[in-house]
Amino acid sequence: MGKIEKAKTDDLGVKVSGSARTGHNLKLSQDDALCQIFNTRNEKQAEALLSQCLKPLKEDEASDESPANDERTFMLSIIHDIAPRDAIERMLAVQMAATHVATIRQGRRMAFADQLPQFDSHERAYNKLARTFAAQVEALRKHRNGGKQTVTVQHVNVSDGGQAIVGNVQAGGRAGDE
């Protein structure tokens, strides 16, 4: 990690510049801008999480030399929007952002594959990453809900003579089977 300084930045309050080769530099619009993105009071933890965001990026995805391909601010904005609530969610948000970038990277490779074996290889990696991302989304949902699934019924029609049951219903054996 390079230097961190205060400066006018985008709406995240953080501007990342430099590269892995020259060192990444942060410009913060306020002292706790990085902590706000990761929703932590621990500055060292926020800096470590930022470092972990940068590690899976290819050189041209984390460099001022390739601004059109720079994924650093995107990853931070996604983590900010996920709004992690605790350490588990912070780590999962970093993984989700990295997985998404890797998925898009594989999609790009798949689009430019010239031969079928090359395409198949990229397609398998793309599908694994997409499934991993879906599993991460589900893990986040379960962590936030404590593992409980909730079903909300918006509208129920009951015909004449029919019955509606409200509450927990469990499938089981026939009546009298105990």
- Model pLDDT for residues 10-63, shown as the tens digit of each residue: 589 999 999 989 999 999 988 899 999 999 999 999 999 999 999 999 999 999
Query: CA-to-CA distance for 110 and 1, rounded, in angstroms?
Result: 32
pLDDT for the residue 9:
46
Inform me whether the pLDDT recorded for 168 exceeds 70.
no
pLDDT of residue 6: 56
Residue from 104, 112, 46 nearest 76 by CA: 46
Q: How far apart are CA 38 and CA 46, in angstroms?
A: 6
Q: For residues 58 and 102, what is the distance between their CA atoms, to the nearest angstrom?
A: 10
